């Protein structure tokens, strides 16, 4: 059988974990998902690692932040007045909120993590929760052409 090529559709399962061992995403072998190579359904670097694989082959791939969810940018951490939330919500550390920002003249909803709260302000982090982290994928190719 031919190994995986750029335009193939494949069935894969995988476990994505941080250097600490914490699993951040998992697709069990019992329920592999279809992926069209080049579609962007999974990280591009993980898709690229599938090229050349044969069915039932397993590969371990370390994906660095710049190829995963980006580097961590301190400039994306902001102090927001607590009054901004009025009585709508009671922010707590670790909570992920959907906040509106203006980008290119358009209002967009973006996720933001609450880092901390004081009497007058809330520290919000607009970085992706996995920004700055290296992720190791253990990927199994189940089939090509599904």
CATH code for residues 74-125:
2.40.10.330
For residues 16 and 26, the answer to whether their CB atoms sit within 8 Å is yes
pTM: 0.80
The model's pLDDT over 69-126, given as tens digits with 9 standing for 90+, comes to 999 999 999 999 988 887 788 899 999 988 888 878 888 888 899 999 998 999 999 9
Q: Where are the domains of the chain?
A: 9-69+132-144, 74-125
Of 144, 139, 146, the C-alpha closest to 27 is 139
Q: Please give the Cα distance from 118 to 82 (Å, whole number).
A: 8
Indicate if the alpha-carbon torsion angle 110, 61, 49, 28 is positive or negative: negative
Residue pointed to by tokens 């941080």: 18
Q: Is the CATH number 3.10.50.40 carried by domain 9-69+132-144?
A: yes
């Amino acid at each position: 059988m031919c190994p995986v090529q750029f335009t193939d559709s494949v069935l894969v399962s995988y476990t994505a974990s941080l250097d600490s061992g914490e699993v951040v995403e998992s697709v069990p072998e019992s329920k592999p998902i279809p992926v069209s190579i080049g579609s962007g359904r999974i990280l591009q670097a993980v898709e690229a690692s599938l090229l050349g694989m044969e069915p039932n082959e397993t590969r371990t791939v370390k994906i660095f932040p710049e190829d995963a969810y980006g580097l961590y940018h301190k400039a994306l951490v902001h102090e927001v007045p607590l009054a901004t939330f009025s009585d709508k919500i009671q922010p707590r550390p670790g909570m992920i909120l959907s906040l509106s920002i203006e980008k290119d003249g358009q209002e967009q909803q973006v996720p933001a993590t609450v880092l901390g709260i004081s009497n007058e302000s809330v520290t919000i982090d607009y970085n992706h929760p996995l920004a700055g982290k290296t992720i190791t994928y253990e990927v199994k190719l189940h089939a090509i052409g599904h």
